[in-house]
Amino acid sequence: MSLRITGGIAKGIILKVPQKTPVRPALSKIRSAIFSSLGDWIEGKKVIDLYAGSGALGIEALSRGALCCTFVDKSRECCECIKNNLKKTHLEGKVILADVYKFLKSDTEQYDLVFASPPYFKEPKLLDDPLFSFVYPRLNPEGTFIYEFFSKNIVKLADQWLLSWEKSVGETKVWMLKPKCLSP
Give the pLDDT score at 183.
Answer: 40
pLDDT of residue 97: 98
Q: What is the pLDDT of residue 2?
A: 64
Is residue 184 pLDDT above 60, yes or no? no
C-beta neighbour count of 144 within 10 angstroms: 24
Q: How confident is the model over 45-59, as a mean pLDDT?
A: 96
Q: What is the pLDDT of residue 23?
A: 67
pLDDT (tens digit per residue) in 99-111:
999 999 999 999 9
Q: What is the pLDDT of residue 153?
A: 87
Predicted confidence at residue 154, as pLDDT, reads: 85
Q: What is the distance between the alpha carbons of residues 112 and 17, in angstroms, rounded to a whole number?
A: 26
89, amino acid identity: T
Q: What confidence category does residue 127 fall into, taking pLDDT thresholds of 50, 70 and 90?
A: confident
Asked whether residue 156 is assigned to any structural domain, the reply reads yes
pLDDT tens digits along 87-100: 999 999 999 999 99
Q: Which residues on neighbouring strands pair with residue 96, listed in sequence order? A: 72
Q: What is the CATH number of the domain that holds 66?
A: 3.40.50.150
pLDDT for 120 equals: 74
Range of 90's domain? 3-179
Would 28 be classed as within a structural domain? Answer: yes
Torsion of CA 51, 179, 153, 28, to 10 degrees: -50
- Count Cβ atoms below 10 Å from residue 128 Cβ, excluding itself: 10
pLDDT at res. 69: 98
How many structural domains comprise the chain? 1
Q: Does residue 19 form part of some domain?
A: yes
Mean pLDDT in residue range 77-83: 97
In a domain, 184, yes or no: no
Q: How far apart are alpha carbons 48 and 65 in whole angstroms?
A: 14
Q: Please measure the distance between the N-terminal and C-terminal CA atoms of the chain and give it in whole angstroms.
A: 49
| Residue of 45, 47, 52 lying closest to 26 (CA atoms) | 52
CB count within 10 Å of CB 1 equals 10
Total Cβ atoms within 10 A of residue 84: 14
Position 62 in a domain: yes
Query: How would you classify residue 53: left for phi > 0, otherwise alpha for psi between -120 and 50, otherwise beta?
Result: left
